[in-house]
Structure 1
Amino acid sequence: MSAAAQPRRTRNSRLVRALVAAGTGAAVLALPLIGATGASAATGSSTPSTTLAGYPNNLDGWIRESLAIMAEKKIPGTYNGIHRNIIRESSGNPSAINLWDSNAAKGIPSKGLLQVIDPTFNAYHVAGTSFNIYDPVANITAACNYAAARYGSIDNVFGAY
């Protein structure tokens, strides 16, 4: 239908549509709040909300826990340096694995938050952390230990390492 043949919309109909849209948006925002008043906390969550050390079980908590371990072991690095490298390497996915680069072609794919290969993880593993390369804190701490030995700090890493 051509623009000339379409019915004209009045100012009132636009106002009514805007109010309906605003009301719908408010209702959508209010629904979770209404439902939450009668809900109880979930039990048996599959993912704990904190790590064993009491940090949040998320990227922020993993970095902060790693920094605490690094401070004890005198491994240099900052939150911003670690975060920048994690986002570049894995987008924050602790289960990330690279199956296409030269390391993968050799049968030793890069794994975890900071995309560490098994030999590097084993050589730079930090005592007191898990021996699981996919463990976020162990992966971060080993990678930072390696970066400290090779580049002085994870803060000095701005590309694949």
Structure 2
Amino acid sequence: MTAITAASRLTRLRNLAVTGLVTTGAAAAALTLTPATAHAAETPKAAPAIASKAADPAGAKGAANNLDGWIKQSLTIMKAKGIPGTYEGLHRNIMRESSGNPNAQNNYDVNAKNGTPSKGLLQVIDPTFKAFHVAGTANSSTDPVANITAAANYAAHRYGSIDNVNSAY
């Protein structure tokens, strides 16, 4: 009877060990797959909903004044201007770059040290914003729609589409 009890305990212990490894492995994979945003952008204040000052050339009026609405407004402008990109590609990059905070500003990287910090939802520096600004959007790198659209325009020229960007760009 003692041998059965010992064997039973050993089996139970093995099952617990395997369960623990699976759980730990899943947690490690989740941490590995989670975008690192801790150093990507400084967020000095909570992100208030900011009204986009972008023009509405293609009928995106009525879009919500939040991340979803800004992405949809940008996609409307991008489509009208022939700039490739999808909602998923924009959203994925925004979440990695700023966690959806339109006021995010990186004050730590080489750009910031050179006096041109990355700003906004897609962390665009002012020279890049000026070079890839899209007519019909606000002339401000911190305007959510203008920031998204200029960054997507830059990514289209450099990588073919914002959808092809999977890391800092």
Cα distance in 1, alignment partners of residues 50 and 93 from structure 2: 25
Where does residue 85 of structure 1 map in the other structure?
93
Retained in 2: the 8 A contact 1:112–1:139? yes
Select the residue among 70, 75, 80 that pairs with 1:62. 70
Which of structures 1 and 2 has the larger relative contact order (alpha carbons within 8 angstroms, sep 6+)? 2
Cα distance in 1, alignment partners of residues 163 and 94 from structure 2: 12
Cα distance in 1, alignment partners of residues 136 and 71 from structure 2: 15
Contiguous gaps of at least 5 residues in structure 2: 1-47
| 2:102 is equivalent to residue 122 of structure 1 | no
Number of corresponding residues: 116
Select the residue among 122, 135, 149 that pairs with 2:157. 149
Retained in 2: the 8 A contact 1:103–1:109? yes
Note the C-alpha offset of 1:132.
Answer: 1.0
Structural RMSD (CA): 1.9
TM-score using structure 1 length = 0.68
Retained in 2: the 8 A contact 1:49–1:56? no
Q: Which has the larger radius of gyration?
A: 1
TM-score using structure 2 length = 0.65
Percent of residue pairs bearing the same amino acid type: 67
* Large movers: runs of 4+ above 4 Å: 46-52
Note the C-alpha offset of 1:48.
Answer: 7.9
Contiguous gaps of at least 5 residues in structure 1: 1-45
Note the C-alpha offset of 1:54.
Answer: 1.9
Cα distance in 1, alignment partners of residues 107 and 50 from structure 2: 29
Cα distance in 1, alignment partners of residues 114 and 63 from structure 2: 36
